[in-house]
């Protein structure tokens, strides 16, 4: 699976314009290989609009970019509503178990997502992966409102990773932060593995959700 992670800087005065344009991406739902697209505003940085797109493979995504992307951009004029845009691509390498069995079900049942963008020390990559598999996955699965997720590797940077998790609501994630996270952080030694970590907690906007 290919994940496209987009972060746009949007001035407060342009939030409504950007959101209206984002709701015009529904036309991609029937494209071959398209799985889902979703996002919302970063609760810790109100100027950041965060969007995740999920495709079956690279070929499906390239077909979209070649034949459909520019037409949609020309129609919704979204480029006029943001100051800057960053895009990165990931492949999923490990599923995070939760209370949903598919990404589509997880998206239906979730109102929040957590994103962690991690740059890992080259000599710590193997430990970082094993800690996700043996410590973080097991700990997160204890939380009733956690609906699963994906541990993903950047397609162009060997030591860059993204962790995506789906949450029922803010309260479920807060319980995890208060009751589960501190012990997992200590056991995983994550602070010794990473060069940098950007965490985002995003309230999903229903109008931005598109399912294939």
Write the pLDDT tens digit of every residue in 31-75.
Answer: 999 999 999 999 999 999 999 999 999 999 999 999 999 999 999
96, 184 contact by CB (below 8 A): no
Could you give phi then psi for residue 158, rounded to 5 degrees? Answer: -65, -30
Q: Where are the domains of the chain?
A: 2-211
Q: Which residue has the tokens 């609760």?
A: 43
**Confidence at 101, pLDDT banded by 50, 70, 90:** confident
Task: Tell me what pLDDT residue 24 has.
Answer: 92
Task: Tell me what pLDDT residue 190 has.
Answer: 96
**2-211 has which fold?**
Alpha-Beta Plaits (3.30.70)
Per-residue b/e over 115-145, b at no fewer than 16 CB within 10 Å? bbbbebeeebeebbbebbeebbbebbeebeb
Q: Look up the pTM and report it.
A: 0.94
Percent residues over pLDDT 70 in the chain: 100
CA distance 76 to 20: 8
Task: Tell me what pLDDT residue 115 has.
Answer: 98
Count of CB atoms situated within 10 Å of the CB of 32:
11
């Amino acid at each position: 699976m290919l994940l496209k992670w987009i972060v746009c800087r949007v001035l407060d005065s342009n939030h409504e314009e950007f959101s209206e344009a984002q709701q015009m991406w529904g036309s991609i739902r029937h494209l071959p290989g398209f799985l889902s697209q979703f996002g919302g505003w970063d609760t810790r940085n109100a100027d950041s609009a965060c969007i995740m797109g999920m495709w079956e493979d690279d070929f499906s995504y390239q077909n979209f970019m070649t034949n459909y992307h520019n037409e949609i951009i020309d129609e919704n004029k979204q480029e006029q509503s943001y100051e800057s845009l960053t895009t990165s691509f990931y492949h999923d390498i490990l599923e995070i178990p939760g209370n949903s069995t598919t990404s589509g079900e997880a998206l239906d049942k979730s109102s929040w997502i957590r994103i962690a963008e991690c740059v890992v020390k080259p000599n710590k990559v193997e430990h970082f992966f094993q800690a996700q598999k043996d410590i973080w996955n097991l700990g997160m699965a204890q939380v009733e409102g956690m609906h699963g997720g994906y541990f993903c590797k950047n397609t162009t940077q060997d030591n860059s990773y993204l962790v995506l998790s789906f949450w029922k609501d803010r309260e479920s994630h807060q319980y995890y932060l208060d009751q589960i996270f501190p012990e997992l952080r200590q056991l995983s030694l994550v602070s010794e593995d990473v060069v940098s970590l950007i965490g985002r907690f995003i309230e999903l906007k229903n109008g931005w959700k598109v399912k294939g």
